[in-house]
Structure 1
Amino acid sequence: MTVRVGILGATGAVGQRFIQLLDGHPTFEIGALTASKASAGKTYKEAAKWRVSTPIPEDVAEIVVGRTDPADVPDDIDLLFSSLPSGVAAEVEPQFLEEGFVISSNSSNDRMAEDVPLTIPEINGDHLGLIEVQRDNRGWDGALIKNPNCSTITMVPTLAALDEFGLDRVHVTTLQAVSGAGYSGVTSMEIIDNAIPHIGGEEPKMETESRKLLGSFDGAELSMHGAEVNASCNRIPTLDGHLESVFVDLADDVTPEDARNAMENYPGIDLPSAPEQLIHVFGEDQPDRPQPRLDRDRENGMQISAGGITETPQGLKYNCLAHNTVRGAAGASVLNGELLVEEGWI
């Protein structure tokens, strides 16, 4: 089965990562690329200032970029991936949805909408049932699914693994790579020899998205998880890979060995882009791992790493890591697209 896909916002940093990840994909075939009016009408290689480490795929380089408008996207496109800035996406995505397109979106708008699935396939694939609620509420034939913020997706798989022990409270401090801000998001003069202890809007995203992802769907509505989540988000001068220090308060008494076993054995999912093992856990003999440079590319950048698991009076503390533009952005949307196909929504 071949599914023809388009990318909204294809020339940006995440759009380029989409193109890299979709090159040679067993199911998805790129059939449309959109960008701003300034790029429309140019071939992709002319429009995009390519910054990914691998070359532009030859079959993509000559595609003519269209406007980000439903009229510029062919009718035979089965699925759209969106990497638009959230302000643009909030205006444009509904136009595509009203025309019947299905969108797997990395953009942050509508992530917390009650009828929009916010999904990590290994964690809460059943939340796709919200699509029916969404269609009833909004009167469109399309479907919108979101992946979470790059910092949220780093932590939540580990929390999902520990939830069996009674997850009560989470405190997390992030050390986030500069690529999370986009190519021009943080200047070199700001970040070199420095750390920035604030990322606008990041902390509320982690605190709310985590509870939605871990919540339960009863077929009609979604209930948020009851855990309290507090986040402190910081930018550091690494290129890729978000490292996070997590403290969890648990209802049960849990040893580090219990936690390692729960994370290592947390089930994955059989989708083309999914890692064979969702969480790689470093043992107590490697307390200095994971590290961004050494561990962000595990399983093609789609695996979560965890380590440094130790006991606290209330529960546990540990570190976790994910590649923020792969697992935390384009790769997450691609995986959600694969889930949509697998579950028959496309």
Structure 2
Amino acid sequence: MTEKIRAGILGATGAVGQRFVQALADHPWFELTSLAASERSAGKTYSQASNWKLDVPLPENVADIEVVPVDPAKVDADIVFSALPSDHAKTVEPVFAKNGFAVASNASAYRMGEDVPLVIPEVNEDHLEMIEIQQDNRGWDGYIITNPNCSTIVMTVTLKPLMKFGLSSVNVATMQAISGAGYNGVPSMAILDNIIPYIGSEEDKMETEPCKLLGEFNGSEIDFADISLSASCHRVPVMDGHTEAIWATMDENPAPEDVKRAFFDFDPKIDDLPSKPDKSIVVREEPDRPQPRLDRNMGNGMSVSVGRIREGIRYIAMGHNTIRGAAGASVLNAELLCKKGKI
């Protein structure tokens, strides 16, 4: 790619927005040209507005960029990455799409829209063909594509290689990191020495999004996968990294070694995307892995680690929720858009 694509971030100062900055500051295909945030931040430099919280330095080439309002007339970009809260995204993202922007959204507002691609490149890259249908339906010059919920991504990447065994039902119990709620999302006195067995709307997302992701695009719409899903979601005192205990039932009743081999052999053939990890699924052989502190940064935070694959089939999956499960997922989607010539 000879000329970089101009990229903007909506909601650039928040936790996921900062991950977008980290991912895009020196990206080989995108040039970060606009950072948009609330009126409170607009007019300040990014270093002044962001209150940078990541454990890596604020990129020097981003620090002095002036933050602009979340307004298509103020944002200079070809594609915008949306880290907006869902209620804000619901009204803002269509305005950007109508004005010709490609919108790669991390928000939940349009994930289940009938003509909106919900995409994990390793799972369903062909669903991007819905973009033209969306533009025809809505009269937009641009479009919206979405990545799934953070816990859905971790689970669904591991479910894709199991589809060949006739996947019929999945039960999952999650242990989700506090960063998934944003910097101010969980008070310390609520989570220290505690587990919170409720995350609003999380279970609904995990029980619906995978059926769309694993469904078949028939040329006009998605035929959802016929899989029964049941989820129980819990917030635990871990900073980053969602851990999931998964029980999968398959028609062919594979042995644990068959499942392990399916994970080892999983090759989505997207190695030409810059953010793609060497291995989308990393199999841990140790009896006590994966663990978030030890494994969340595998593949620069883009790999999903699995282990404890047992009869049943039961296994543990773990992935970095704000990288693989959020900003990194949107950036990988955008790279796929580039590869397919849709930007």
Same fold (TM > 0.5):
yes
SS in 1 for 2:244: strand
Q: Give per-residue Cα distances to partners, 1:194-227, cap 9 Å, x unaligned.
A: 0000101000000100111000001111111000
Shift of 1:78: 1.6
Which residue of structure 2 aligns with residue 249 of structure 1? 249
Which residue of structure 2 aligns with residue 317 of structure 1? 314
Given candidates 277, 281, 284, the residue that maps to 1:282 is: 284
Runs of 4+ in 1 over 6 A off after TM superposition: none
SS in 2 for 1:55: coil
Take 2:262 and 2:221, find their aligned partners in 1: how far apart are those partners?
28
Take 1:39 and 1:257, find their aligned partners in 2: how far apart are those partners?
53
Take 1:308 and 1:151, find their aligned partners in 2: how far apart are those partners?
19
Which residue of structure 2 aligns with residue 273 of structure 1? 275
Which residue of structure 2 aligns with residue 91 of structure 1? 91
Which residue of structure 1 aligns with residue 46 of structure 2? 44
SS in 2 for 1:137: helix
Q: What pairs with 1:146-295 in structure 2 (closer than 5 Å)?
A: 146-268=146-268, 269-270=270-271, 271-283=273-285, 286-295=286-295
Take 2:253 and 2:49, find their aligned partners in 1: how far apart are those partners?
56
Take 2:135 and 2:62, find their aligned partners in 1: how far apart are those partners?
33
Which residue of structure 2 aligns with residue 341 of structure 1? 338
Take 2:287 and 2:129, find their aligned partners in 1: how far apart are those partners?
40
SS in 2 for 1:248: strand
SS in 2 for 1:328: helix
Q: Which runs of 5+ in 1 are unaligned?
A: none
Q: Which residue identity is paired with 1:186?
A: V
Which residue of structure 2 aligns with residue 327 of structure 1? 324
Q: Which residue identity is paired with 2:314?
A: K
SS in 2 for 1:334: helix
Which residue of structure 1 aligns with residue 27 of structure 2? 25
CA contact (8 A) 2:97 2:141 kept: yes
Q: Which residue identity is paired with 2:91?
A: E
Take 2:131 and 2:97, find their aligned partners in 1: how far apart are those partners?
12
SS in 2 for 1:275: coil
Take 1:144 and 1:109, find their aligned partners in 2: how far apart are those partners?
11
SS in 2 for 1:174: strand
Take 1:169 and 1:93, find their aligned partners in 2: how far apart are those partners?
34
- After TM superposition, the score normalised by the length of structure 2 is 0.98
Q: Which residue identity is paired with 1:60?
A: V
Which residue of structure 2 aligns with residue 138 of structure 1? 138
- After TM superposition, the score normalised by the length of structure 1 is 0.97
Take 1:34 and 1:253, find their aligned partners in 2: how far apart are those partners?
50
SS in 2 for 1:234: coil
Which residue of structure 2 aligns with residue 303 of structure 1? 303
Q: Which residue identity is paired with 1:277?
A: K
Take 1:179 and 1:281, find their aligned partners in 2: how far apart are those partners?
25
Which residue of structure 2 aligns with residue 61 of structure 1? 63
CA contact (8 A) 2:121 2:336 kept: yes
SS in 2 for 1:18: helix
Q: Which residue identity is paired with 2:305?
A: S
Take 1:321 and 1:54, find their aligned partners in 2: how far apart are those partners?
22
Q: Which residue identity is paired with 1:24?
A: D
SS in 2 for 1:34: strand
Q: Give per-residue Cα distances to partners, 1:205-257, cap 9 Å, x unaligned.
A: 00100111000001111111000000000000000000000001110121111
Q: What pairs with 1:93-132 in structure 2 (closer than 5 Å)?
A: 93-132=93-132
Q: Which residue identity is paired with 1:318?
A: Y
Q: Give per-residue Cα distances to partners, 1:23-43, cap 9 Å, x unaligned.
A: 221111100010000111111
Q: Percent same amino acid at aligned positions?
A: 56
SS in 1 for 2:73: helix
Q: Which runs of 5+ in 2 are unaligned?
A: none
Shift of 1:6: 0.3
Take 2:93 and 2:23, find their aligned partners in 1: how far apart are those partners?
22
Q: Which residue identity is paired with 1:162?
A: L
Take 2:97 and 2:341, find their aligned partners in 1: how far apart are those partners?
18
- 274-283 vs 321-330, which deviates more? 274-283
Aligned length: 339
Take 2:56 and 2:251, find their aligned partners in 1: how far apart are those partners?
47
SS in 1 for 2:305: strand
Q: Which residue identity is paired with 1:241?
A: G
Take 1:89 and 1:152, find their aligned partners in 2: how far apart are those partners?
20
Take 2:26 and 2:96, find their aligned partners in 1: how far apart are those partners?
26
Shift of 1:72: 0.6
